Structure 1
Amino acid sequence: MRTRSQLLFACLLFSAMAWSQASAVKKSYSYINPLIGTQRMGHTYPGATVPFGSVQLSPDTDTIPYELNKKYNGKVYEYCAGYQYEDRTIAGFSHTHFSGTGHSDLGDLLIMPTTGALQLNPGTASNPKTGYRSAYSHANETARANYYKVKLDDHNITAELTTSQRVGFHQYTFPKANDAHIILDLIAGIYNHNEKNVWTFVRVENDTLITGYRQTQGWARTRTVYFAIAFSKPFRQYGARKYDEGNIYKGFWRKFDETKNFPEAAGKNIRMHFDFETAENEQVKIKVAISPVSTIGALENMKKEIPHWDFYKTMHEGELLWEKELNKINIETIHEEDKVNFYTAMYHAFINPTIYMDGDGSYKGLDQNIHKADGFTNYTTFSLWDTYRALHPLFNIIQPQRNTDMIKSMLAHYDQSVHKALPVWSHYANENWCMIGYHSVSLIADAIAKGNTGFDMEKALGACISSSNLRYYDGIEYYLQYGYVPEDKNGSSVSKTLEYAYDDWCIAQIAKKLNKPDVYDTYMRRSQNYRNVFNKSTGFMRPRLTDGSFKKEFDPLDTHGQGFIEGNAWNYSLSIQHDPEALVALNGGKEKFTQHLDSLFAMQLPDKYFEKTEDITRDGIIGNYVHGNEPSHHVAYLYNWTGYPWKAQSRVRMILDAMYHPAPDGLGGNDDTGQMSAWYIFSSLGFYPVTPGSDQYALGSPKVKKAVLHFENGRSLVITAKNQSDKNVYVSKVELNGKMLDRPFITHEELMGGGELIYYMTAKPKK
């Protein structure tokens, strides 16, 4: 006999499935616009990839070395993804890219089709005809899920790109030409210094297949990408040029001319050309497989994933992979462009972390040895200072199995680490130690708090404790000694103190779950260290010195030399994610703190607080609220702790409208491997994880009219916003499965239990 609640759940599930099928006439992946975020600060790329794919095949519009940053007026920062929408030339198509980061690396194995006289230098943006690059127009450019197309005007070639998990698939439509070329540039990359290449090697196996590797020392200090490249048509001749000791270099005691039809090339900097004759509209196709392990691994990846030459079959298979992932959330919106924003946000959220292993599970570890992922998928590209806040909490809802594998990947990193530390910011078997905190512990605590525990929790706790006591890392020794990081000992001291305190709280929550009271007590005490840098006289977190005094020179609006990183005292003084009640009390109580929050959004920053060289530093700012940088992402939801949840609702809807729109400049800051996009997804659904590591979400104001979340546990949650409109941004009441919520929060268990969550929207706040 079914209970009433079981019947209600069955009806809701049937309704959700029916609505989902009815609304799926237009495929969800068709709403993806990869060009969103490619202009100014978004730092996304428009090329082809599959969900969490090892290959990101995308055009590069420029490659400026890091040392030329000042000369080029900060332009190197713009090319973190290799592409800027405002550029008018393309230098080629490379196979690895970061999505939305604030630092550059990758850009491996650049391929460029050309016609005419052979040129093996890239030329310049102002004069592309001096090299192999080409002018192009956005009118002849198409970017969608797992597909990119552009016409290269200077060569009259149409380029099309698609991918599988580990293989990039190129299709080039040539004009009639006796002098058609495919350039393979092993020098090009999304640089962070001039001497990036350590070594490159190419071996011509036959007239349709080459193999090799590229080893670099960029942001990742030692990174090797192995490759296998197959051509659909035999090349009639080929050649290599080394750029180590000059443009033409003959090795092997000058017994061979390595520049023409010699089957091996090795050196720091190599460019190769492969020459063809082509008929009018003839298509030359290329498959480029990569491996972290070997050229044999790359060949096997190619054989397994794309054993054929059907370009559109591969493209469509990738589209179906995106459709499967996007259909974890089906939405109905007020405006059609809101679907573009939402599904593109899901697309960007599901690019990183990327799978890092061959099809047989082999991968190179942090110790530079070859390992095999046993019972999990190995991932890389962990931008944890950004993504612990919303991206991984999102995965705990709709990608729990992948998130478990990501944690297992981090534990493998810990095993291979000579420091016995979890990742900070890691990619491609390297730790680059970028940003601050030891935020792997947040991912682990959040997964455990939400019951996503398919990993060794005891081992994870030990790894967290080890990471938190890495005394020679970024001021931790002083943090342990003084209870804060002194500014005269270690810069960005306040930011570090606050983030270490939050991470310590996360470790305490893990210890509590595992019934370790001594560990819990130790780390709960450490989690209160944020109080040691709060200055009552100013009402702000403030840098403190070794002698216990606060630094005298202090400007809470300045971001330079004030003890903070990527923020100011205003931003960071609101970043006590793990203790918002105490934060309210420190700031004089609910009324005074509410006024403080109001001021944050309302103030106007004078010009002197922006860097003089780049107007882009103004991106993502509303008053002194900086949505373009992660420490502020939870701030609008703090009104829920002051008794003014309606102000949170208003602010959230304002941010959604101001910081996201379906255009190349549609992101108000670096997407940071999906964090900005995850914020959009959560906030559009009506709730947000202010404190990862807890089971609680703060309620906001949904932007969707309706959404159905399909969970891996087999249940579904239907979210409905009744009376939804652009003006109705306030919530009069919220019901979960027919019962009104009497709090502006909801728990993970309540969400994952499924059923129906109803927001009643109104134009006037319920005060």
Structure 2
Amino acid sequence: MTSRIFLSTILSCICCSLFAQENVLSYVKPITGTQRMGHTYPGATVPFGMVQLSPETDTLSYEMNGKYNPDVYKYCAGYQYEDKTIVGFSHTHFSGTGHSDLGDFLIMPTTGTLQLNPGTADHPESGYRSRFSHSTEVAEPAYYKVKLEDDGILAELTASNRVGFHQYTFPASDQSHIILDFMSGIYNYPNKNVWTFVRVENDTLVTGFRQTSGWARTRIEYFAMVFSKPFKEYGHRNYTNDVYKGFYRKFDQTKNFPEMAGRQIRAWFDFNTTAGEKIKIKFAISPVSTEGALKNLRAEIPGWDFDQVKQEGQALWTKELNKVHIESGSREEKENFYTAMYHAFINPTTYMDVDGQYRGLDMNNHTANGYTNYTTFSLWDTYRALHPLFNIVQPKRNADMIQSMINHYDQSVQHMLPIWSHYANENWCMIGYHSVSVIADAIMKGNAPFDANKALDVCVTTARHRNYDGLGYYMDMGYVPEDKNGSSVSKTLEYAYDDWCIAQVAKKLGRTDIYEEFIKRSNNYKNVYDKTIGFMRPRLNDGTFKAAFDPLQTHDQGFIEGNAWNYSLYVPHNPDDMIAMMGGKKQFTQHLDSLFTMELPDKYFAETEDITRDGIIGNYVHGNEPSHHVAYLYNWTGYPWKTQERIRMILKKMYHPGPDGLGGNDDCGQMSAWYIFSSLGFYPVCPGSDQYSLGSPAVDKATLQLENGKTFIIDVKNQGDKNVYVQKVLLNGKALDRLYITHSEIMNGGNITFFMGPKAKK
């Protein structure tokens, strides 16, 4: 215990010595993005933590009456701000995704007659669900609190990396219960629960595992659960139709029987409580074993001091958030910024026990020696800004994440880097092979404490995988034909960019043959451009362009999460050639202007994957990632002031510190990373390059505390809502005569000064 107090004190002192005058935690609003499409969760977690302990406001089945239930999309993170009831608190969640899984091990405290069904939102009294009010709800980094009104129970949650810590304050009752629901989960597919095993070790300790087959086809999560007070009795209800009872029929398994097994199980634990009595639960998880879960529990939270664990978790957040210290006269700006940093530092998540063991893609156990193994790689989203941000402020973690990706490749029977992976599973969600971009960005920026040549080899093998998603056609024909493989234009463009990334690394490492192969492939974007209409357009297997084509539509037009207006701007590795191809700077600028100002007819919203107008400005779709670099493209046309104008407009329209404060899915931190970069005044238009394109900073000043011990300061003169235009820029006191800064200029420390004004400097 003494060592934990000492650690907490050291962490707090480090943070205080940096910026003693300000509590950055007060600016973080975990509730931001919990309404509408943000898909964030408000519960307790630590930076990159394996446990995300958060309330569920509903648990819906993926299918309703045998058909897809569209309402499940709202509950990717388990929580929707508009809801009036809470079903319980589970231990695993995605942050900001447009698809989901998880929601493991739901716990709900209740009093009165035991009810084992969750009830309904309209009639919570019909089950263990409870009404709640936002007036009693508190959401902070590493802490969540709410009053469960139906039973008069105060629920408080905190967490360490691998352990969730519950504290429930009960009324006086001889019928107090803790319900442990193994049937509940997010995106409950038919037959998602494969098997559950529970073992009551004694009157305070319960262990077991849950195996599911959902978005992740084969996922096993082990747990160890400890109560602060012995339960007086316990039991379970097994809803499994095909449960094999065998010799166990000699026992009454439903009550006080120490083993439970089946596909669908809910368990309960009964207590007598006095008024104001706190029952605490420590719930550790492990990808490997119940023994691993117990080791995690004993190592991370050996005692029962809830407030101490909360303080330690918040000290970890304070340390991470202070890696970028901003000054601003606007509290809203500080709340937006530090909430964005909070969301950016949730994923990817730790995926190993305290002894380094983790479950691999091959379903065998492995040990991470000298690094942290991570999971939750939403790479189609996060390669754009989140991982480039990590290369500046989290370089050690980013290198470990890349090592985790290479481990994934080594364990993959397909010999592929991760596409969208979590919990020892590959989901194959979205397109491209953007692990390549993340690896290339790190190598090109000098953050590669791993075998760079091996990393290049696995990138090349991934990119030559002919059986993957149209790649064989792409390699043979220079494009993906739409009549052979859908979303063909998006795939062609994204493959071409990833191939450019491979070429850059090969050039740096002196691998000339690989460079020549992939620099040629990186030009394949030209093969899907139709100069007769001025848009990227799907081509067919016979070489012709698709006849029936509408550049405003998404579905069946060769694109994914975007249309031709947006994807025609996706050549991040060669914007100069893209601009020339599309008619030159003047015509290209008109295209950009129209993208932001046009009115998209209502009929097209039914054709997009955005569902609503959330995240859309004109036909610019900020809520979908393929457009995230677009506003910066004016820097290549001679109109940088339009980049500055657009950036500040997007910052205002798409982000604010409220429940509906995100204009689209946060996508594991990508939306938030865009905000962080753009608020600081620069953005990685092309990860894999060492350049960051300049924009219009929204902060008064920012100090980046770099892991190499240096600081990089961004100073903004004449900041204001109307002063969005950059008049001049000084880098280390000298005039900057270009529209970008380099990674080394940041990492070497120093300062950049923006002088702002109300009129565009054309």
TM range (shorter): over 0.9
Aligned ranges 1:203-214 → 2 under 5 Å: 203-214=199-210
Distance 2:189 2:312 in 1: 37
Matched, 1:474 2:458: no
Secondary structure at the aligned position of 1:618 is classed as coil
| Aligned partner letter, 1:133 | R
**Quick check: 2:62–2:69 contact (8 Å CA) kept in 1?**
no
Secondary structure at the aligned position of 1:756 is classed as strand
Matched, 1:723 2:724: no
Aligned ranges 1:667-678 → 2 under 5 Å: 667-678=662-673
Aligned residue among 400, 403, 418 for 2:395: 400
Matched, 1:593 2:581: no
Aligned residue among 150, 154, 176 for 1:180: 176
**Matching residue of 1:152:** 148
TM-score (norm 1): 0.96
Q: Quote how far apart the aligned CAs of 1:252 are.
A: 3.1
Matched, 1:532 2:527: yes
Q: Which runs of 5+ in 2 are unaligned?
A: 1-12
Secondary structure at the aligned position of 2:483 is classed as coil
**Matching residue of 1:706:** 701
Distance 2:683 2:758 in 1: 22
**Matching residue of 1:42:** 38
Aligned ranges 1:25-424 → 2 under 5 Å: 25-68=21-64, 74-245=70-241, 252-424=247-419
Distance 2:587 2:757 in 1: 27
**Matching residue of 1:628:** 623
Matched, 1:541 2:547: no
- What are the Cα deviations for residues 53-111 of structure 1, in whole angstroms up to 9, with x where unaligned? 00000000111121239978621111000000001110000000000000010000000
| Aligned partner letter, 2:355 | D
**Quick check: 1:219–1:432 contact (8 Å CA) kept in 2?**
yes
| Aligned partner letter, 1:482 | M
Distance 1:234 1:710 in 2: 47
**Matching residue of 1:504:** 499
Distance change (3 Å), C-alpha of 1:364 and 1:568: same
Aligned residue among 529, 552, 571 for 1:576: 571
Distance change (3 Å), C-alpha of 1:471 and 1:633: same
Distance 2:476 2:245 in 1: 60
Distance 1:249 1:171 in 2: 36
Distance change (3 Å), C-alpha of 1:91 and 1:249: farther
Distance change (3 Å), C-alpha of 1:726 and 1:18: farther
- What are the Cα deviations for residues 203-248 of structure 1, in whole angstroms up to 9, with x where unaligned? 00000000000000011100000000000000000001111129x9
| Aligned partner letter, 1:62 | D
**Quick check: 1:41–1:670 contact (8 Å CA) kept in 2?**
yes
- What are the Cα deviations for residues 720-740 of structure 1, in whole angstroms up to 9, with x where unaligned? 110000110000001011101
Distance change (3 Å), C-alpha of 1:393 and 1:614: closer
CA root-mean-square deviation = 1.7
| Aligned partner letter, 1:735 | L
**Quick check: 1:43–1:100 contact (8 Å CA) kept in 2?**
yes
- What are the Cα deviations for residues 372-402 of structure 1, in whole angstroms up to 9, with x where unaligned? 0022110000000000000000000000000
| Aligned partner letter, 1:742 | D
Distance change (3 Å), C-alpha of 1:124 and 1:554: same
Distance 2:574 2:147 in 1: 54
- What are the Cα deviations for residues 235-277 of structure 1, in whole angstroms up to 9, with x where unaligned? 000001111129x996635211110000000111110000000
**Quick check: 1:640–1:744 contact (8 Å CA) kept in 2?**
yes
Distance 1:630 1:69 in 2: 34
**Quick check: 2:51–2:164 contact (8 Å CA) kept in 1?**
yes
Aligned ranges 1:686-765 → 2 under 5 Å: 686-765=681-760
| Aligned partner letter, 1:526 | R
Range with bigger deviation, 49-58 or 17-26: 17-26
Distance 2:464 2:311 in 1: 49
| Aligned partner letter, 2:114 | L
**Quick check: 2:63–2:69 contact (8 Å CA) kept in 1?**
no
Range with bigger deviation, 50-59 or 26-35: 26-35
Distance change (3 Å), C-alpha of 1:23 and 1:335: farther
Aligned residues: 750
**Matching residue of 1:5:** none
Distance 1:251 1:137 in 2: 47
Distance change (3 Å), C-alpha of 1:408 and 1:614: closer
| Aligned partner letter, 1:473 | Y
TM-score (norm 2): 0.97
**Quick check: 1:73–1:613 contact (8 Å CA) kept in 2?**
no
Range with bigger deviation, 368-377 or 608-617: 608-617
Secondary structure at the aligned position of 1:466 is classed as helix
- What are the Cα deviations for residues 710-765 of structure 1, in whole angstroms up to 9, with x where unaligned? 11111101111100001100000010111011011111111111111100010000
- What are the Cα deviations for residues 332-362 of structure 1, in whole angstroms up to 9, with x where unaligned? 1131111111001000000000000000000
Percentage identity across paired residues of the two chains:
70
**Quick check: 1:30–1:145 contact (8 Å CA) kept in 2?**
no
- What are the Cα deviations for residues 453-490 of structure 1, in whole angstroms up to 9, with x where unaligned? 11110110110011001111110011111110000000
**Matching residue of 1:647:** 642
Distance change (3 Å), C-alpha of 1:249 and 1:504: closer
- What are the Cα deviations for residues 485-536 of structure 1, in whole angstroms up to 9, with x where unaligned? 0000000000000000000000001101100111101100000001000000
Distance 2:65 2:613 in 1: 19
**Quick check: 1:198–1:217 contact (8 Å CA) kept in 2?**
yes
Distance 2:531 2:113 in 1: 71
Distance 2:69 2:619 in 1: 25
Distance change (3 Å), C-alpha of 1:89 and 1:19: closer
Q: Quote how far apart the aligned CAs of 1:371 are.
A: 0.1
Secondary structure at the aligned position of 2:754 is classed as strand
**Quick check: 1:250–1:256 contact (8 Å CA) kept in 2?**
no
- What are the Cα deviations for residues 562-606 of structure 1, in whole angstroms up to 9, with x where unaligned? 000111001100011111001110111111111110000000000
Secondary structure at the aligned position of 2:700 is classed as strand
Q: Quote how far apart the aligned CAs of 1:18 are.
A: 14
Distance change (3 Å), C-alpha of 1:98 and 1:19: closer
Secondary structure at the aligned position of 2:612 is classed as helix
| Aligned partner letter, 1:540 | F
Aligned residue among 486, 489, 503 for 1:494: 489
| Aligned partner letter, 2:398 | N
**Quick check: 1:104–1:192 contact (8 Å CA) kept in 2?**
no
| Aligned partner letter, 2:690 | D
Distance 2:205 2:14 in 1: 49
| Aligned partner letter, 1:151 | K
| Aligned partner letter, 1:454 | P
**Matching residue of 2:8:** none
Distance change (3 Å), C-alpha of 1:686 and 1:202: same
| Aligned partner letter, 1:727 | K
| Aligned partner letter, 1:650 | E
**Quick check: 1:192–1:219 contact (8 Å CA) kept in 2?**
no
**Quick check: 2:534–2:582 contact (8 Å CA) kept in 1?**
yes
**Quick check: 1:105–1:191 contact (8 Å CA) kept in 2?**
yes
Q: Which runs of 5+ in 1 are unaligned?
A: 1-16
| Aligned partner letter, 2:118 | P
